[in-house]
């Protein structure tokens, strides 16, 4: 997905911009570009391909300016090409713009501007923006220092869709204007500089003090200051937020890939998620929540809404909410929920799970839930992300920055946090029982058990060598193990490009078993003592038909024989996904490595999906 970087200060902007773009590479992109303000006007250098291709252009060496904007583009409107890459300028080249998001009414605006004599050189939606700014700028008779800002505000009021914009103008040569609507943008500040980005990790090594922008807040940046205005051009006050992520957390720390590093970080990230929310003496508290027993008793249901891996974390949450809180709980895919007129009202609590906090469908589902009167609670990993500013309540996973596109540590932290949330609700509801206490104890033991589980790495690597050339793989499980099978299958698909499917083991004989033939690999997960025998029977059915098997388990399998068994530590079956997913994350990782693929940046995928 597109990424934005910007700099305004006393240093040469180019190296800072390139460094920021490199840190955004994980988001996925197909072209890159920069623009700086030079003595003789705006200079734009852009190219199709990776940032390394951009750096090869000789024009980039001549950029000396101390104010600059930069962009990595993930093509939506128009093919990946140099013409379509950002920054885009107007014909006179007195405005340059980079843009994340989608301008839905760009056709209309383009038609209008064509009639006014403007010319377009790209197929992008973005190119209307510098031209529209120019249009309003030229029409404005008043010549004062707010003229560019007025033109930007007028242009933005015409734009439908989502945008995060950085704007340079030769009419304002020592400033930059930025604004956002439904697309992330943050400003990192020091005493003498401002760094701008769509993603905090890209600029985290420069500062920890950030302005988090709300929709339609216009910011005029200069070397040491940031002035904020609303759409009526009235000044507004804005405080910085301190983001205490460690800059080295956004580096590879000696690992070959971010994904491998993030898999191995899970003991730490889970510890951070538990934090002081759960302690050995049995207390359970979640900061910033003020729910009461009466409120929870009044609920008709809880809906958990998310996309992809985050939705899989929600599936685990459903079981725990229903078991311990006795509140009916549904799990929905955000892109389905938002268009199916869900039956929710003021008696519904809707929980949104999103690592990035920027997923367009999840945010839209939240807005819809609020319109319908439901209370909204966001579980996010990114402080100040868009969803956290929309939701009634936010709780953070505190897993640290997740850079690899394939989510690993964010998933396990989401499962941990939703389990703690269920315990917290159960406590408010005065539900008592040994099982709740047992779950608390099991959560506290997780960091060391994850450490133990990671020791299966070598065994998994050997297994990956055996199966990496296969065309199809199947994952089976029952109950909570089925939820993990879904996540394992998604992980494998996204980074190894091997087709895989996950089935509830009991469903096999209702259709999918027709796919089983000699030497096909079936991976099964067996962690629930109540269901292990049932799943074993299903796996026997595929063995009879010639399948090769890998079993992930912490149960006694008796005399049953399987080709490969990975034994993981025992834990409470409700949170077993946090352990059983680890060998399966590693399996996807090592298969991808065997195939020589780019693990961190799989094709066609983006880390945060900020468009529908
Ligand atoms: C898969 C993956 C995606 C995300 C999904 C939601 O590894 O990362 O499926 O889980 O795009 O993203 P967030 O959690 O940022 O809303």
Residue that has been written with the tokens 């003229």 in this structure: 147
Asked if residue 85 has its Cβ within 6 Å of ligand 1, the reply is no
How would residue 383 be classed by pLDDT, with cut points 50, 70 and 90? confident
> Is 39 designated active site?
no
Q: Is 588 in the pocket of ligand 1 (CB under 6 A)?
A: no
* 470-482 core/surface letters (b: 16 or more CB in 10 A; e: else): beebbbbbbbbbb
Beta bridge partners of 354: 380
**pLDDT one-digit tens code per residue, 385-432:** 889 989 999 999 999 889 899 999 999 999 999 999 999 999 999 998
Question: Quick check: CB of 608 below 6 Å from ligand 1?
Answer: yes
* C-beta atoms surrounding 390 within 10 Å: 20
pLDDT band at 1, cuts 50/70/90? low
Give the DSSP per-residue string, 4-59.
EEEEESSS-HHHHHHHHHHHTGGG--SEEEEEEEETTEEEEEEEES-HHHHHH-GG
Q: Domain 252-444: which CATH class?
A: alpha beta
Give per-residue pLDDT as tens, 474-505.
999 999 999 999 999 999 999 999 999 999 99
DSSP bridge pairs for 211: 187
Distance from residue 361's CA to the centre of ligand 1 (Å): 11
**Integer CA distances (angstroms), 442 to 447, 449, 583, in order:** 10, 10, 19
Residue 206: pLDDT over 80: yes
- How far is 533 from 88, CA to CA, in rounded Å? 62
Token pair belonging to 288: 């910033």
Closest CA to 576 of 526, 514, 612, 505: 526
Q: Is 607 a catalytic residue?
A: yes
- The set of residues, in sequence order, having a beta carbon less than 8 Å from that of 46 and lying 6+ positions away, is 31, 32, 33, 34, 54, 82, 85, 86, 87
For residue 27, pLDDT beyond 70: no
Atom of ligand 1 nearest to the CA of 411: 10
Nearest to 243 by CA among 203, 288, 285: 203
Q: Which two tokens stand for residue 593?
A: 């490595």
Write down the architecture of domain 3-249 according to CATH. Answer: 4-Layer Sandwich (3.60)
CB 89 within 8 A of CB 25: no
* Structural domain boundaries in the chain: 3-249, 252-444, 455-594
Q: How many CB atoms lie within 10 A of CB 256?
A: 12
- Give the 3-state secondary structure of residue 106: helix
**Inter-axis angle of helices 577-594 and 434-453, to 10 degrees?**
20
To the nearest 10 degrees (0 to 180), the angle between helices 434-453 and 409-428 is 170
Contact yes or no for 324/423 (Cβ under 8 A): yes
Residue nearest to atom 10 of ligand 1 (CA): 309
Q: Tens of pLDDT along 257-300?
A: 999 999 999 999 999 999 989 988 878 989 889 999 999 999 99
What DSSP state is assigned to residue 213?
A: P
Domain 252-444 and domain 455-594 have a common topology: yes
Mean pLDDT estimate for the chain: 94
Q: Does residue 110 or residue 104 have the better pLDDT?
A: 110
**Ligand 1 centroid – CA 570 distance (Å):** 28
Cα of 218 from ligand 1 centre, angstroms: 29
> Could you tell me what percent of the chain has a pLDDT over 90?
83
**CA-wise closest residue to 267 among 399, 414, 144, 451:** 451
Task: Answer for the pair 471, 501: CB distance below 8 angstroms, yes or no.
Answer: no
The radius of gyration of the chain from alpha carbons, rounded to an integer in Å, stands at 26
pLDDT digits (tens, 9 = 90+) for 453-471: 999 999 999 999 999 999 9
Q: For residue 534, what are its two tokens?
A: 């049932």
Specify the fold of 455-594: Rossmann fold (3.40.50)
């Amino acid at each position: 997905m597109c990424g934005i970087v910007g700099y305004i200060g006393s240093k040469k902007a180019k190296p800072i911009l390139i460094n920021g773009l490199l840190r955004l590479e994980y988001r996925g992109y197909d072209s890159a570009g920069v623009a700086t303000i030079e003595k003789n006007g705006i200079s734009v250098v852009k190219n199709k391909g990776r940032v390394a291709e951009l750096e090869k252009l000789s024009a980039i060496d001549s950029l000396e300016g101390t104010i600059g904007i930069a962009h990595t583009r993930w093509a939506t409107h128009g093919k990946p090409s140099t013409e379509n890459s950002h920054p885009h300028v107007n014909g006179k080249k007195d405005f340059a713009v980079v843009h994340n998001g989608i301008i839905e009414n760009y056709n209309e605006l383009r038609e209008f501007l064509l009639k006014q004599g403007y010319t377009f050189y790209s197929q992008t939606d973005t190119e209307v923006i510098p031209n529209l700014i120019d249009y309003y700028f030229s029409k404005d008779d008043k010549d004062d220092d707010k003229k560019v800002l007025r033109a930007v505000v007028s242009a933005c009021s015409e734009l439908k869709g989502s945008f995060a914009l950085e704007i340079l103008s030769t009419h304002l040569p020592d400033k930059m204007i930025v604004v956002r609507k439904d697309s992330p943008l943050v400003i990192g500040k020091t005493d003498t500089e401002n760094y701008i980005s769509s993603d905090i990790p890209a600029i985290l090594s420069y500062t920890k003090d950030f302005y988090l922008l709300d929709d339609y807040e216009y910011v005029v940046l200069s070397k040491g200051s940031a002035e904020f205005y609303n759409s009526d051009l009235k000044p507004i006050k804005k405080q910085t937020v301190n983001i205490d992520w460690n800059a080295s957390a956004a580096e590879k720390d000696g690992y070959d890939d971010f994904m491998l590093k993030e898999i191995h970080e899970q003991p730490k990230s889970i510890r951070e998620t538990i934090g002081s929310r759960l302690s050995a003496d049995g207390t359970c508290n979640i900061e910033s929540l003020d729910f009461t027993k009466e409120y929870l008793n009044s609920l008709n249901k809880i809906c958990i809404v998310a996309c992809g891996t985050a939705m899989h974390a929600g599936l685990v949450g459903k079981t725990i909410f229903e078991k311990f809180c006795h509140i009916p709980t549904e799990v929905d895919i955000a892109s389905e929920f938002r268009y199916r007129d869900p039956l929710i009202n003021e008696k519904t609590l809707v929980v949104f799970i999103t690592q990035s906090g920027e997923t367009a469908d999840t945010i839209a589902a939240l807005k819809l839930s609020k319109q319908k009167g439901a209370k909204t609670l966001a579980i996010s990993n990114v402080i100040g992300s868009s969803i956290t500013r929309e939701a009634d309540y936010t709780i953070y996973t505190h897993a640290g920055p997740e850079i690899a596109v394939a989510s690993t540590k964010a998933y396990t932290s989401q499962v941990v946090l939703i389990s703690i949330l269920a315990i917290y609700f159960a406590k408010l509801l005065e539900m008592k029982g040994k099982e709740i206490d047992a779950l608390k104890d099991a959560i506290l033991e997780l960091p060391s058990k994850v450490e133990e589980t990671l020791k299966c790495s070598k065994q998994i690597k050997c297994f990956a060598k055996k199966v990496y050339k296969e065309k199809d793989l199947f994952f089976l499980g029952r109950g909570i193990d089925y939820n993990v099978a879904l996540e394992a299958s998604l992980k494998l698909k996204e980074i190894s490009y091997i087709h895989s499917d996950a089935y509830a083991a009991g469903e096999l004989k209702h259709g999918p078993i027709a796919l089983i033939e000699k030497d096909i690999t079936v991976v099964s997960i067996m962690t629930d003592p109540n269901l292990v025998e049932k799943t074993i029977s299903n796996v026997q059915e595929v063995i009879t038909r010639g399948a090769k098997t890998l079993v992930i388990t912490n149960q006694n399998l008796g005399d049953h024989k399987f080709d490969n068994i990975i034994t993981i530590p025992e834990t409470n079956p409700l949170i077993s996904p946090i352990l059983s997913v680890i060998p399966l994350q590693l399996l996807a990782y090592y298969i991808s490595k065997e195939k020589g693929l780019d693990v961190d940046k799989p094709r066609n995928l983006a880390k945060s999906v900020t468009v529908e």
